[in-house]
Amino acid sequence: MNVIEIKGLTKIYKTSEVIVKAVNGIDINFEEGEFTAIVGPSGSGKTTFLNMLGGLDKPTSGKVIISGIDVWKLSSRQLIDFRMNNIGFVFQSYNLIPVLTAGENVEFIMHLQGKPKKEREKRTKDLLEAVGIGNRINARPSKLSGGQQQRVAVARALASKPEFILADEPTANLDSKATNSLLELMSQMNKKYNTTFIFATHDQRVMDKAHRIVTIEDGKILSDEYFERD
């Protein structure tokens, strides 16, 4: 089953001197349960591509269809609600709210969704235990290591029960031990919840875990390969 259908996706940036096609007419589909890496050199368009998938950056032309819904035909309010209920994000810089505890960061999106307090608290506890830091539920981000903060970010991304998770260079600020631990965790979450993970990355360690590697260069798909992984 296709979770995401991309049709003719294009993003053009114009200045007084040049026109840059950051993403240039991409057609591609992603299916439920994928663990996919979008790779390519700096400036290849992979982050712009990911942001358009996630409803963060409007395409110049083309379609992003998620479970039959043409995302960029939604109103601004509808798009906000759609992102909140269907898409999880994990960023390079963690993007945790510094004044909230780890638990409160995870619970926040469920609060926005209007989930009952008991349901929010149980899911937060379960997710933080699942990512291996249940004992840090009351710690603020400043008291957590980079690897621990990224684990909170993964738990937060899963909290809304999204159809898929977009991860933009999630290992960029982590050492090797934290990276390997985080990737193993994400792989387990992928298998346990059948959640689709799509990464934009330079990291060979992410590529080594991915079941599919899509290489983008100059805004176009250069290759699309599938791999058997344990």
Q: Rounded CA gap, 39 and 47, in Å?
A: 9
43-75 pLDDT, tens per residue? 899 999 999 999 999 999 999 999 899 999 999
Q: Is the pLDDT of residue 230 over 80?
A: no
Percent of the chain exceeding pLDDT 70 equals 99
The confidence score (pLDDT) of residue 195 equals 87
Q: Is the pLDDT of residue 16 over 80?
A: no
The confidence score (pLDDT) of residue 6 equals 96
74-129 pLDDT, tens per residue? 999 999 999 999 999 998 888 899 999 999 999 999 999 999 999 999 999 999 99
Q: Rounded CA gap, 39 and 58, in Å?
A: 21
**Are β-strands 69-70 and 61-66 bridged in parallel, bridged antiparallel, or unpaired?**
antiparallel
What average pLDDT does the structure give for the chain? 92
Give, in words, the CATH class of 2-226: alpha beta
Q: Rounded CA gap, 176 and 171, in Å?
A: 9
The confidence score (pLDDT) of residue 174 equals 82
Q: Is the pLDDT of residue 188 over 90?
A: no
Q: Is the pLDDT of residue 1 over 70?
A: no
Residue written as token pair 């993403």: 23
For the chain, the structural domain boundaries read: 2-226
CA atoms within 13 A on the CB side of 45: 25
Q: For residue 193, count other CB atoms closer than 10 A to its CB.
A: 14
Nearest to 155 by CA among 203, 214, 88: 88
